[in-house]
């Protein structure tokens, strides 16, 4: 009995650590996206989405085929596939809409409610228990993200209400998908290859309907697209799936607030920003919040 519990805790820890990989990869999203627009006009959002998810899905198929696991692509259910596609395409469509209808600073702040919502929604899952330190840790993380974004001059204007609503809907879409994926633990992560390809196809349709095609003009832009498809819009979604299905969902939700912080630090490191006191304080708040949420993971509770 004790051995089984120990093995279960070890598996949960391993899945949580794998999930952290998504947070690290998502932090490169800003840098790689900036690269796609260097040397000319930026690649339109839905076109970029179609390219990146198409690359991610195609590479996943190649990996699965090389490992003899290709059947995992269809080892899903219509409901699980619909939710996976809706989570990816729905989130990005709403987020891009928010950026078109509202200032990026305010839209990003509202969008970054999704990690806090993941922590709160996780309390509705069977077998999960939401403790005070989970909520407090996520709240500290949101405080750090808010400080970072308000440091860029956020000022809410009622005239952008539709854009704000789209940003909130994006946060709700991604947090709902992430938490709901826990209910489909029997669906292999390899099935996401199909979801990525369908997301790419839907993004291509939106691109053809609403955007003008723009291709990168230099090698840096193409490197950015490939890097996006490999990491923040590729492998990250697969390791996030493992973390959400088998890891500590509250800890991962709180830790996700490291994404905007790490993203900002990367941009600063590559010369696209400056280190200011809001950035430094935001780092401290997010770190403290993640450690508080992970209290039981870091320090084993006594008894039981």
Q: Determine the pLDDT at residue 156.
A: 74
Residue 1 has pLDDT above 70, yes or no: no
Q: Determine the pLDDT at residue 297.
A: 66
Q: Rounded to an integer, what distance in angstroms lies between the CA atom of residue 176 and that of residue 267? A: 29
Residue 301: band (very low, low, confident or very high) from pLDDT cuts 50, 70, 90 = low
Q: Rounded to an integer, what distance in angstroms lies between the CA atom of residue 187 and that of residue 72? A: 8
Q: Rounded to an integer, what distance in angstroms lies between the CA atom of residue 36 and that of residue 227? A: 10
Residue 130 has pLDDT above 60, yes or no: yes
What is the DSSP track for 157-175? -GGGHHHHHHHHHHHHHHH
Torsions phi, psi for 294 (to 5 deg): -95, 20
What is the distance of C-alpha 263 from the center of its chain? 12
Average pLDDT, the chain: 88
Average pLDDT (242-264) is: 90
Q: Determine the pLDDT at residue 282.
A: 84
Domain boundaries along the sequence of the chain: 25-297
Residue 304 has pLDDT above 50, yes or no: no
What is the DSSP track for 84-125? HHIIIIIHHHHHHHHHHHS-HHHHHHHHTTHHHHHHHHHTTS
Residue 293: band (very low, low, confident or very high) from pLDDT cuts 50, 70, 90 = confident
- Quick check: pTM over 0.85? yes
| Per-residue buried b or exposed e for 192-228, using 16+ beta carbons within 10 Å of the residue's own CB | bbbbbbbbbebbbebbeeebeebebeeeebeebbbbb
Dihedral sign for Cα atoms in the order 295, 299, 303, 304 = positive
Top mean pLDDT of 120-134, 183-197, 257-271, 290-304 is at 183-197
Residue 272 · residue 265 · CB < 8 Å? no
Average pLDDT (130-139) is: 87
Which alpha helices (H) appear in the chain, and where do they start and end? 2-26, 29-36, 45-66, 78-85, 91-101, 104-111, 114-122, 132-150, 161-180, 192-210, 219-230, 236-246, 249-255, 258-269, 277-293, 295-298
Q: Rounded to an integer, what distance in angstroms lies between the CA atom of residue 183 and that of residue 128? A: 12
Residue 262 · residue 85 · CB < 8 Å? no
Give the pLDDT confidence of 181-219 residue by residue, as tens digits: 999 999 999 999 999 999 999 999 999 999 999 998 889
Q: Determine the pLDDT at residue 55.
A: 97
Residue 105 has pLDDT above 90, yes or no: no
Residue 71: band (very low, low, confident or very high) from pLDDT cuts 50, 70, 90 = very high
Give the pLDDT confidence of 43-54 residue by residue, as tens digits: 888 999 999 999
Give the pLDDT confidence of 150-164 residue by residue, as tens digits: 776 666 788 888 988
Q: Determine the pLDDT at residue 3.
A: 56
Residue 2: band (very low, low, confident or very high) from pLDDT cuts 50, 70, 90 = low
Secondary structure letter of residue 77 according to DSSP: -
Pick 90 or 156 by higher pLDDT: 90
């Amino acid at each position: 009995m004790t051995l089984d519990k120990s093995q279960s805790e070890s598996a949960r820890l391993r899945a949580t650590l794998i999930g952290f990989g998504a947070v690290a990869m998502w932090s490169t999203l800003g840098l790689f996206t900036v690269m796609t627009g260097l040397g000319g006009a930026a690649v339109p959002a839905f076109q970029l989405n179609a390219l990146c998810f198409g690359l991610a899905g195609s590479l996943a198929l190649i990996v699965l085929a090389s490992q003899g696991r290709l059947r995992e692509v269809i080892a899903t259910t219509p409901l699980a596939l619909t939710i996976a596609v809706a989570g990816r395409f729905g989130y990005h469509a709403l987020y891009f809409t928010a950026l078109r209808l509202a200032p990026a600073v305010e839209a990003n702040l509202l969008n970054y409610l999704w990690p806090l919502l993941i922590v709160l929604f996780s309390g509705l899952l069977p077998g999960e228990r939401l403790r005070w330190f989970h909520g407090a840790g996520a709240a500290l993380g949101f405080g750090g993200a808010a400080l970072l974004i308000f440091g860029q001059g956020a000022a809410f204007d009622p005239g952008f209400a539709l854009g704000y609503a789209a940003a909130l809907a994006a946060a709700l879409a991604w947090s709902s998908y992430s938490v709901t994926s826990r209910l489909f633990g029997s669906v292999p992560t390899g099935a996401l290859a199909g979801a990525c390809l369908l997301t790419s196809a839907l993004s291509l349709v939106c691109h053809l309907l609403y955007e003008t095609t723009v291709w990168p003009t230099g090698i840096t832009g193409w490197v950015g697209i490939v890097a996006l498809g490999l990491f923040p819009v590729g492998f990250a979604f697969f390791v996030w799936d493992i973390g959400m299905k088998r890891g500590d969902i509250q800890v991962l939700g709180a830790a996700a607030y490291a994404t905007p912080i790490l993203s900002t630090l990367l941009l600063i490191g590559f010369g696209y920003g400056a280190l200011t006191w809001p950035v430094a304080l935001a780092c401290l708040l997010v770190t403290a919040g993640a450690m508080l949420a992970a209290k039981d993971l870091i320090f084993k509770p006594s008894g039981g």
